């Protein structure tokens, strides 16, 4: 099950629990109001001799625990959904497979393929690709964002796009990803060092 689905379920459960909480609180207040009705009516009939009778509503113990728990679930679900909408998930692949014509053209050299790919890139994408080439085609994602002087979120999005286009491959490496340029775009001198 995808993580966004899990957070959506938590969100729906928390909304449902808050609705139930409001319903139970309403029942509790109605019950207390009906219990205070008779003494107030007697006081009114006697002309206020008994004094002003006021009672504060008593919230049952289970409702006092229910409120922070359901609020916490609501916040977790909402934050999780927002996070997974904003940050795309990188699909991890073992081998980059470009989905466009450049790979199929065997007449082009690696440098010609690279030039063609770079012409289709935005400036920030070029920075990320250049950072990879400076490190022999393999570099950690967290270091790419520092070297390319791009935010981590933007770097993440660029790399996710590269994976979809078959330009790079990604594999988990600790708390980050190791990003490698795909073999079809890697110059011969870098392939020898692998």
Report field, pTM of the whole predicted structure over 0.85 = no
Bridge-based pairing state of the strands 168-173 and 138-140: unpaired
Which pair of tokens denotes residue 186? 């890697």
Domain boundaries of the chain, sorted by first residue:
3-86, 101-193
pLDDT for the residue 90:
63
Burial class of 101 by CB neighbour count within 10 A (0 to 12, 13 to 18, 19+): exposed
User: Which run of H or E residues covers position 193?
Assistant: helix 188-193
Please tell me the distance from the alpha carbon of residue 78 to that of residue 35, in angstroms, as a whole number.
39
Please tell me the distance from the alpha carbon of residue 123 to that of residue 130, in angstroms, as a whole number.
10
Please tell me the distance from the alpha carbon of residue 135 to that of residue 118, in angstroms, as a whole number.
18
Q: Which residues of the chain have a pLDDT value below 50?
A: 94-96, 98-102, 104
Angle at CA of residue 45, ends 44 and 50, nearest 5° = 60
pLDDT for the residue 17:
75
pLDDT for the residue 190:
67
Which pair of tokens denotes residue 14? 């928390």
Please tell me the distance from the alpha carbon of residue 61 to that of residue 27, in angstroms, as a whole number.
14
CATH code for the part of the protein at 101-193: 1.10.10.10
């Amino acid at each position: 099950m995808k993580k966004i689905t899990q957070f959506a379920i938590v969100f729906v459960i928390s909304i449902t629990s808050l609705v139930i909480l409001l319903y139970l609180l309403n029942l509790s207040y109605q019950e207390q109001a009906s219990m205070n009705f008779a003494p107030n009516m007697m006081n009114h009939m006697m002309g206020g001799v008994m004094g002003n009778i006021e009672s504060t509503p008593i919230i049952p113990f289970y409702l006092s625990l229910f409120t922070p728990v359901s609020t916490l679930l609501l916040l977790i679900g909402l934050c999780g959904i927002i996070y997974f909408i904003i940050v795309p998930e990188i699909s991890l692949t073992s081998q980059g497979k470009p989905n466009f014509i450049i790979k199929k053209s065997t007449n082009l050299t690696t440098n010609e393929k690279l030039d063609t790919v770079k012409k289709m890139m935005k400036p920030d994408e070029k920075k990320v690709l250049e950072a990879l080439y400076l490190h022999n085609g393999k570099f950690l994602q967290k270091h790419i964002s520092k070297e390319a002087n791009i935010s981590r979120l933007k770097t993440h999005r660029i790399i996710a796009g590269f994976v979809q286009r078959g330009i790079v491959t990604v594999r988990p490496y600790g708390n980050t990803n190791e990003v490698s340029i795909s073999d079809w775009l890697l110059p011969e001198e870098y392939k020898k060092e692998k």
